[in-house]
Amino acid sequence: MAHGKPAGMIEFIESLRAPVTLHGAFALPLFFDLGAIFCFALTGAWAATHRGYDMVGAFVLAFVTGLGGAVIRDSFFLGMEAAVLRDGRYLLVVLAATLIAGATFRLERRFGRLMAVVDALGLGAYAVVGMQKSIVAGLPPGAVLLVGVANAVGGGIMRDVIVRDEPLILKPGQVYAVAALGGCLVFLVVLKFYQWDVAQAAWCSIGVTFLLRMLAIVFNWRTAAVSEGGTLRLSAKDDLQ
């Protein structure tokens, strides 16, 4: 028995390192995919409008905010041609968001709640898409988590870097990337240890991410600086993390 426990622990650790097996496939409904990208791109174009950028600058920010996560996923992590560049509809959606932003930026606050809901759904959905593609590529679970979170929040990081702002997710703020990570963990656990169908696991993960993000907005759950213990806390501010 004394030798059995270490051996069992080693087997468990090795199982965590083994690639995840997919049962079935998951694809976002096209209307949701294009609609979510439009909303993300619109927020990027609004940011450009507030900064006084011209149409080129607005399109660039709209593009990286809407599609940056997918570009990072495919080009940087998976070493392949970005899938969003092969389908002209994605670029047309970004262009439409850019054109509409100039006439609607004064209405940004009115659509704040709607955008928050779409953002929370998209956060979980694109994390799942990133994880599924990385699993198909044969990446181990740790890398799958990384790609999933990067797919979800990468566009916002690129936007902040381009406008020379410190990326919001690197600073203490309202729970955001942490919500995506929670959903990613659920996706991996139910696939690896319970052999769920991919579609079931995907919707469960999206639901968990959405719930965490909505609770963070309602109760203003915030991360704290490492120097303060790195725990969650409540605050009146609404930065993202």
From 164-168, 179-183, 201-205, the region with the lowest mean pLDDT: 164-168
Report, in angstroms and rounded to the nearest whole number, the Rg of the chain calculated over CA atoms: 19
Average pLDDT over every residue of 99-119: 90
Whole-model pTM: value is 0.89
> Could you tell me how many residues make up the chain?
241
| Average confidence score pLDDT of the chain | 90
Residue pLDDT, tens place only, 184-194: 999 999 999 99
- Tokens 């929370």 correspond to 120
Residue pLDDT, tens place only, 207-234: 999 999 999 999 999 999 988 876 676 6
pLDDT band at 106 (very low <50, low <70, confident <90, very high): confident
CA 113 to chain centre: 18
**pLDDT over threshold 70, residue 235:** no
pLDDT at 98: 97
Is residue 66 within 8 Å of 38, Cβ to Cβ?
yes
Please give the structure tokens belonging to residue 52.
Answer: 């006084």
pLDDT at 102: 87
Residue pLDDT, tens place only, 114-141: 999 999 999 999 999 999 999 999 999 9
Q: Which residue, among 156, 171, 182, 160, has the nearest Cα to 223 in the 3D structure?
A: 171
